[in-house]
Amino acid sequence: MTSETLHPLVARLTSAHGFPYLDSEEAAVAGLPPGDSLLFLPAHGKAHMETPDIAVVLPELVGVLGGGSTIGGAVAGPAYEKRLREQLGIALPAIVVMRGGRPLGSLSRMRDWDEFIERLSAVIAGPAATSH
């Protein structure tokens, strides 16, 4: 990963917030905490106008959705993003809720704050994998 390949606000997730940069399922299993994490798929290779907006709100979502427990955040590299996009059939950019390194559900595109909280909370609370 180089700073030229990521939008500066996405790069800030890894540099300033310490989110891991994951480019494989193996890296996700090894690099994510055993609980829940919000994995950002920023639409690599495509300048998407919603990517910087989601990059700005993601650390806040991690903090709010964590409540009393710890929820992690991470950024998917291009290969892992492609695999998850195909596996889950989702539009990009997206946030994928991961549990124990495995996808639990997802939410595509930029949303208003209340919708992010409501829909991501529902994925975190539910045991079944869902995509939106």
pLDDT one digit per residue (tens) for the chain, 132 residues: 444 578 999 999 999 999 999 998 888 888 887 789 999 999 987 878 999 999 999 999 999 998 767 799 999 999 999 999 999 999 999 999 999 888 999 999 999 999 999 999 999 998 744 444
* Domain formed by 8-125, architecture: 3-Layer(aba) Sandwich (3.40)
Provide the whole-model pTM.
0.90
pLDDT at 1: 46
Most distant CA pair in the chain, distance = 38
Q: What is the DSSP string of 85-132?
A: HHHHT--SSEEEEEETTEEEEEEES---HHHHHHHHHHHHH-SS-B--
Q: What is the DSSP letter of 31?
A: H
pLDDT of residue 35: 84
For residue 4, the model assigns a pLDDT of: 52
CA 87 centroid distance within chain: 15
What pLDDT score was predicted for residue 34? 77
> Is the separation of the CB atoms in 93 and 50 below 8 Å?
yes
Torsion from C-alpha of 69, 41, 107, 88, nearest 10 degrees: -110
Annotated domain spans of the chain: 8-125
| Cβ atoms of 44 and 21 closer than 8 Å | no
Per-residue confidence (pLDDT) for residue 68, from 0 to 100: 62
Helix or strand holding residue 20 (H, E): none
